[in-house]
Amino acid sequence: MTWTLTRLLAAMLVAPLLTAAAAGASLADGRPASGTSRIKDLANIEGVRQNQLIGYGLVVGLNGTGDTLNNIPFTRQSLQAMLERLGVNIRGQTLRTGNVAAVMVTANLPAFGTQGTRIDITVSAMGDAKSLNGGVLLVTPLLGADGNVYAVGQGSLAIGGFAAEGDAAKITRGVPTVGRIANGAIIEREIDFALNRLNQVRLALRNPDFTTAKRIAAAINDFIGGPTAEPIDSSTVQINVPKNYLGNVVSLLTEIEQLQIEPDISAKIVIDERSGIIVMGRDVRVSMVAVAQGNLTVTISETPQVSQPAPFSRGGTTTVVPRTRIGIQEDGKKLAVVREGVSLQQLVDGLNALGIGPRDMIAILQAIKAAGAIQADIEVM
């Protein structure tokens, strides 16, 4: 089959139009654009949260690695009280067992947790127990901040670390005094929260920002088709439940949390001086500034010498004569100019060009901030 010139030109003109139309369709099919996040990932629903639980209990069955009862009085008292509740009276008796350890039990009560649901618990030794490996947690009530019992824990511990020692050596890997029991607690009390009966729902932003809060409210209003959402402050967006969603707030939240938002973040530099970690946001900008960095190194070396007396001398003693050598070296770098309004990549390249490490870079960033030449907040962890 032969193509005429007219048909060939028509095919060349139509192909770009079809490609553009396909690209427009791919953008309009609801898929997220680059740089956007779901509201579900940006905010929490106020009231839908976990609650922390804590309890005190005993771990038994340890192979001689438990608490020393003579040194840990609360373990001895707890063991005596537990045995008395079981009908065993040991008051005034000497206890020497090393198979018991007093522990603190912690857990998180999930939102909408119902009676009979199991949750994970963490068990941590309180006394001088060497290891909780092989131990079993006895029945332990877990209390909330109000003092009520919300769950009861019990079960065999799973330890991630171990410890071994001999007469002249000892090795420890991980933390053998902390264990975890998967599904080790049963919820006994529920926290009432009627989400479907609410007339208003509040979204709490995980990273407070006025611009992000306004964008979330605008996206919700566009989806609902009316002024339903309103930003209260930088961290809260209030939603008035529409009439067609009254009594079915879960359906409303399911639709809203999938909306795509481009979050706006403030320019910030986070510094961890202990580890030398520096994290910069993408909006960090620097005014024109000149930077120089130099290191002063002082080296002190000791090479003592032994002075011996002459052979067959009387009253001579062997002495140590000190020999000290001090050296000073200053490594200086030339001034480097960082241009105004550079991007994050250019700023990093400029600082790396100075040939300095993270520790010195932290000091340089703080000095630039003190000079007022960096438009970002510096947070030191």
Closest-CA residue to 215 (of 266, 263, 283): 263
pLDDT tens string for the chain (381 positions)? Answer: 444 333 433 333 333 333 333 333 333 344 444 478 999 999 999 888 899 999 999 999 998 889 998 888 999 889 988 988 888 887 777 778 889 999 999 999 999 999 999 999 999 999 999 999 999 999 999 999 999 999 999 999 998 876 777 777 777 777 899 999 999 999 999 988 888 888 999 999 999 999 999 999 999 999 999 899 999 999 999 999 999 898 889 999 999 999 999 998 888 888 887 777 888 877 787 777 776 666 655 566 667 777 777 776 676 677 777 776 766 565 655 556 656 666 666 766 766 776 667 777 788 788 878 888 787 888 887
Q: What is the DSSP string of 211-244?
A: HHHHHHHHHHHHHHTSS-EEEEETTEEEEEPPGG
Residues 6+ apart with CB under 8 A from 364: 291, 293, 351, 354, 356
Whether 19 and 68 have beta carbons less than 8 Å apart is answered as no
Whether 77 and 150 have beta carbons less than 8 Å apart is answered as no
What's the CATH class of domain 194-261? Answer: alpha beta
Task: Return the structure tokens found at 312.
Answer: 């067959």
The pTM of this model reads 0.67
Locate the domains of the chain by residue range.
51-187, 194-261, 268-302+323-380
Strand 377-380 versus strand 268-272 pairing type? parallel
Closest-CA residue to 183 (of 131, 129, 137): 137
Whether 241 and 249 have beta carbons less than 8 Å apart is answered as yes
d(CA 257, CA 143): 33
Task: Return the structure tokens found at 358.
Answer: 């993270």
